[in-house]
Amino acid sequence: MKVVDTIPRMSTLVKIFKKEGKSIGLVPTMGYLHEGHLSLVRAASKHTDVVVMSIFVNPIQFGPKEDFEKYPRDLKRDEELATSAGADIIFSPSVNNMYPAGYSTYVNVETLTSGLCGASRPGHFKGVTTVVAKLFEIVRPDISYFGQKDAQQAIVIKKMAEDLNMGIEIKIMPTIREKDGLAMSSRNIYLSEDERKDALVLHGSLMKAEEMIKSGERESRKIIRAIEGMIKSVPSARLDYASIVDTVNLKEAKVLSGEMLIALAVFIGKTRLIDNTIVKGLK
Ligand code: AMP
């Protein structure tokens, strides 16, 4: 496994791989790896010859009051974990390398980014699509892997790749959870012991929503009200949003039908966590 920390060095390696006819899989991350990230590496190593994991805490996707500075970082630990999962290269450029003085080009996907996390975090997705577009240019992957955990992000990136004819296959892999249901996230490290227990309300309320749907409920308002009720019952929890949207256009649905994404963002103390579930075949 190689750690590559400059763009020119990464580009040179990419040229060599292409010349050798090797396919490249890219797993973009912000590091502080967990099983969720590693599941993407494992998927990539099954389908591509060279697996590149990027580790870059991208400043332009964080709002001014968000956690860019304190976002957890541990490159040494990440190297070991990524290697064990089958990564061939860790690409970890510096902020200056990615955004030198005078940097002024951004990629923005419209419409799909206006709701859900896009509404709560203005500018967030512009930062995400810009960094991912840059990583795609640098690494030139055949396939890039993203997690269902960040459902809106995955849909937005798919749209960007399509709209800009990037010729890169975007694969979306299932959310990996702790045994008790909490979706794995680098930000879970911020939670105190009590908050960690309270955080179970995210998965719990999604399961409650699924149960209601299984019992025949199709009215979005009623399901959202049940989710809100569960979140309210946990003292350290504050709902940012709970929304039921179409999985293709991310538009809110009053009545559930076809395939729906139930997505939520909840502050547990000061930590903002997200989770979601997809329900299919609704009539
Ligand atoms: P991050 O480092 O949080 O930016 O995430 C990097 C990639 O890992 C994104 O595609 C995420 O959707 C994915 N990811 C994060 N957490 C999980 C999880 N629990 N299960 C599956 N994929 C995840």
Q: Mean per-residue pLDDT for 193-209?
A: 98
Q: Tell me: the pLDDT tens digits for 230-246?
A: 999 999 999 999 999 99
Residue 223 to residue 212: CA distance in whole angstroms: 7
Which protein residues are within 6 Å of ligand 1, measured from CB? Answer: 29-30, 36-37, 39-40, 146-147, 149-150, 173, 175-176, 183-186
If one residue of 57, 150, 158 were mutated to test the ligand 1 pocket, choosing by the most ligand atoms within 8 A of its CB, it would be 150
Query: Buried b / exposed e across 190-210, counting CB within 10 Å, b at 16+?
Result: bbeeebbebbebbbbbbebbe
Distance from CA of residue 116 to its chain's centroid? 13
Q: Tell me: the pLDDT tens digits for 163-177?
A: 999 999 999 999 999
* φ and ψ at residue 98, rounded to 5 degrees: -80, -40
Residue 35 to residue 174: CA distance in whole angstroms: 11
37 is catalytic: yes
Residue whose C-alpha is closest to residue 149's, from 200, 186, 199, 185: 185
- Atom 17 in ligand 1: which residue has the minimum CA distance? 36
Rg of the chain over Cα atoms, rounded to whole angstroms, equals 19
At 9 the three-state DSSP class reads: helix
Dist. CA 67 → ligand 1 center (Å): 17
Dist. CA 40 → ligand 1 center (Å): 8
Q: What is the pLDDT of residue 283?
A: 87
If one residue of 26, 30, 33, 37 were mutated to test the ligand 1 pocket, choosing by the most ligand atoms within 8 A of its CB, it would be 37
Tokens for 277, please give them. 């579930």
Specify whether the CB–CB gap between 30 and 71 falls below 8 A. Answer: yes
Dist. CA 274 → ligand 1 center (Å): 11
Closest atom of ligand 1 to 40 CA is: 22
Tokens for 120, please give them. 């709560």
Tokens for 34, please give them. 């967990």
Q: Mean per-residue pLDDT for 179-194?
A: 98
Domains of the chain with bracketed CATH: 2-173 (3.40.50.620), 186-277 (3.30.1300.10)
Q: Tell me: the pLDDT tens digits for 41-73?
A: 999 999 999 999 999 999 999 999 999 999 999
- Atom 11 in ligand 1: which residue has the minimum CA distance? 147
* φ and ψ at residue 212, rounded to 5 degrees: -60, -40
- Atom 14 in ligand 1: which residue has the minimum CA distance? 147
- Atom 15 in ligand 1: which residue has the minimum CA distance? 36
Dist. CA 249 → ligand 1 center (Å): 22
If one residue of 27, 29, 81 were mutated to test the ligand 1 pocket, choosing by the most ligand atoms within 8 A of its CB, it would be 29
Q: Mean per-residue pLDDT for 4-13?
A: 98
Residue pointed to by tokens 């955080």: 199
Distance from CA of residue 145 to its chain's centroid? 10
Percent of the chain at pLDDT > 70 equals: 100
Angle among Cα 277, 282, 283 to the nearest 5 degrees reads 165
Specify whether the CB–CB gap between 213 and 224 falls below 8 A. Answer: no
